[in-house]
Chain A
C-alpha cells in the first residue's frame, strides 16, 4: 500500500491526511461506514415491509457481489483511463476473452462444445493471461492513433470478439474427434468458478466450519445456497483488496509517475527520455488482464457464458460507476462501484419487490392503458406501470445522472484528490548541511 501509511505528517500534500490518521484509514472508515449504513438501511426497510429474511439476505448478497465485480472492473478501467488517460471502451471484449478462454480450458471433454477439462485455477490463470496477451495485440496498432480514434478501435475490438464468438463459423470446430468451439449464440458451459466455495467447505480441515455455517444459516431462516453465495462474495471482496493494493502500489511509484505524465503531456514525458510507448503497452496489457480476471470472477460464477454478457453497454456501466466515484482515484473506483451497485443496479429491484408487496398495484400492460386511467382520476395504474418498468427507468435515471455529473461535478466523488505519484513522501526536505551548492 502507500508508503505514506502511518505517516503522521499532518501537512502532507497527499490529499488531506488529518493530523490523527493517514488517508487510507479514513478512506476505509468512510467505505465501511457507507457499507454498514446501506446494509442496515436496506435490511430494516425489508424487515419493516415484511420481506422474508432469505430474500433480504439474497438481495444484500447480490449487492455485495455486484459491488465487488464492478469494483474490480472499475479499478482496472481507472488504471487505463484515470491514470494513463487511455480511454478504453472495449472492456467487455477483454472480459469476454478471459471468460471464454477459461471456459474452453475447464469445460469437460465430453461436453458440447468440448473443453480441455483442466482444473478451475488453471482456467482462471489461463483466461487472465489470454486477456493480457490480447491486450498487447490490440494495443500495438491502437496506441498509434489519437485518443478518440483509440476509443473507437477498442470498441470495435470488443464487438469483433462478441460477434466472433456468436458467429456460426466458430460455433463448432472439429479437432481430434471432439467438437470444440464457442457455442455460438447458445454459449459455452463449464464448471462455475464459484463452485470453489462449496468444494473448499468440504475439505477435511474445514468441513467443521462449513457445517457450522450452514447450521447457523438454517437457524436464521437462510438457505445453504445463500451461505455459498455470501462466501463467494467475500472471495470477490478479497480480490478487490488485492487489486486495490496492487494499483495503489503502482500509483505510488516511478512507473505510476510516468503513467500520469503520459496522461498530462506525453510529448513532454518523451522529451525527458521516458519510453512512453513501452509504458502504455505494459499498462494496457495489465489492465486488460485484470479485466479478464474480473470477467471470470463475474460471469464465471455462472455455469454458462453467452455472448450477450459482453455487449458494449456493459462497458458503459463500469464507466458510470467510475465517474460517480471519480476517475483517477482508486478509492473513488471502489466507492463508485458500491454506490452504483447498491442504488442504481440492485436497489431499484428491491424497492420494486417492497412496493409490490406493500401495495396492491395493477399491472397495466402498456403505458397507454395506464395513462388512460388518469382521465378517471385514478393514478394507481400509472404508478403500477412505473413500478413494473423500474428496470427500464433505472437506465433513464443513470443517463440523467451521467449528464448531471458532467455538467456539475465531472470529477465525481473522489476525483479532485491530490495523489502524489512517488514511492516515498516527497515533502521531506533534505537537512541543510554543508553541501548546499
Chain B
C-alpha cells in the first residue's frame, strides 16, 4: 500500500472538517483514549492524571509549556515508560504497559523530538527497516534457499516504496549516505518518512517540523492533510502556535502533567488559564 492509494481498511467516515462550529468536544470514536495517566520519576511527578482522547482521522495538537510532560506522555503511550497509574486505550484495545514494539505493530508509531536515525546505516537502510510484516525478519526465511526468494521479492517491493517516499520528502539525493552525516533538519525528515513507511493508524509526532525549511514544511503539512483524508490520525506536539492553529482541529493543553484544557484551537488560545500557564504562573 503506497501513500497515494485510498486506504481500504481505514474508516470510511469523512474526516472531521476543521470548521469553527464543530469539534470542541471529543467525537464518539476516539482512536486513542488516555485516562488518568500517572508517571513518577523518583520524587518528580511528570504526568499527573492526564486524561484526553484523540479522534479517529483527526489532526490533534498537544501543547504545553516546557516541562509539562508532553514527551513523557508520549513515552507512556508508546511503552517506552511504563505508567504508574491510569490506562491507555488504542483502537479499542488496552495497551497500557505493553512493549513498544508490540504497540508499534498494532499501528501506533511515534517519532522522536531528537531524531533517532541509525547513524551507521544508510538512509535507505533506515527506510527499509520501517515496514512491518517483513518476511525476511525471521532468521529461517532469510537463510533457507526456497524461502529466501520470497524475501528478495518483498525487499524489491519495499525498495520501491522507500525510494518513492524519499523522493516525496526531497531527500532522495541522500539515499545512500550514512544517516549520521545528515543535518538536523534532514534527520527529522528521515524520521518522519521512516515512520510513515510503517503504515501506522495513529502517528504521534514530536516536534516534526523543527529544523525544516518553510516550503518543505508546507508540503509536508499538505501531505499530512491528504493522509488524514485517507483515514490516518495524527497527534502532534509543536511549539509553533501558528502551525497548531492552522492545522489542528482540536488542541489539548498539558500543564504540570495534567490536562488544563482541550478543544477548539481558538477557544483554547483565548483561555486565560492557558495563557497563565505559558507565562509561568501556577494554575
A–B touch (CB < 8 A): the answer is yes
Which A positions have Cβ atoms within 8 angstroms of B?
3, 13, 246, 249-250, 253-258, 260-261, 264-265, 267-277, 279, 282-283, 286, 418, 420-424, 426-430, 435-437
Residues of chain B at the chain A interface (Cβ within 8 Å): 2, 4, 78, 80, 99-102, 104-105, 109-110, 112, 116-122, 124-125, 128-130, 132, 134-139, 142-143, 148, 151-152, 155-156, 159-160, 162-164, 167-168, 172, 175-176, 178, 194-195, 198
Contact B142 A249 (CB under 8 A): yes
What 6 additional pairs, Cβ within 8 angstroms, besides A268-B112, A420-B122?
A: A250-B142, A254-B134, A270-B101, A271-B109, A275-B101, A423-B136
* Shortest CB distance B269–A (Å): 31
Q: Which of A255, A418, A426, A437 contacts B128 (CB 8 A)?
A: A426
User: What residues of chain B lie closer than 8 Å to A265, measured between beta carbons?
Assistant: 116, 118-119
The answer to whether B125 and A423 touch across the interface, beta carbons within 8 angstroms, is no
How far, in Å, is A371 (CB) from chain B's closest CB?
Answer: 50
16 sample A-B contacts, Cβ–Cβ < 8 Å, listed by A number: A249-B148, A260-B125, A265-B119, A268-B118, A269-B101, A273-B104, A274-B101, A274-B137, A276-B101, A283-B139, A420-B125, A421-B121, A421-B125, A430-B163, A430-B164, A437-B164
Residues of chain B lying within 8 A (CB to CB) of residue A258 = 129, 137
Least CB separation from B191: chain A residue: A268
Complex contacts, A424 vs chain B, CB 8 Å: 152, 155-156, 159
Looking across the interface, which residue of chain A has its beta carbon closest to that of B107? A273
Residues on the B chain within 8 Å of A274, using CB: 101, 129, 137
Taking CB atoms, residues of chain B closer than 8 Å to A276 are 101
The minimal Cβ–Cβ distance linking B199 to chain A, given in whole angstroms, is: 10
Question: Which of B2, B129, B167 is close to A272, meaning CB atoms less than 8 Å apart?
Answer: B129
Query: Do residues A271 and B142 form an inter-chain contact, with CB atoms below 8 A?
Result: no
Knowing A276-B101, A420-B122 are in contact, say whether A13-B151 is a contact too (CB < 8 A): no
Contact B164 A423 (CB under 8 A): no
Residue among A253, A272, A426, A428 making CB contact with B142, cutoff 8 Å:
A253
Q: A253-B136, A253-B143, A423-B152 are known contacts. Are A271 and B125 too (CB-CB below 8 A)?
A: no
Asked if A271 meets B110 with Cβ closer than 8 Å, knowing A260-B125, A265-B118, A426-B125, the reply is yes
Query: Given contacts A273-B109, A273-B198, A275-B101, are A255 and B138 in contact (CB under 8 A)?
Result: yes
Q: With A and B bound together, what is the CA distance between A429 and B121 in angstroms?
A: 18
Identify A422's interface contact among B4, B139, B148, B155, CB under 8 A: B155
| B135 CB to nearest chain A CB (Å) | 8
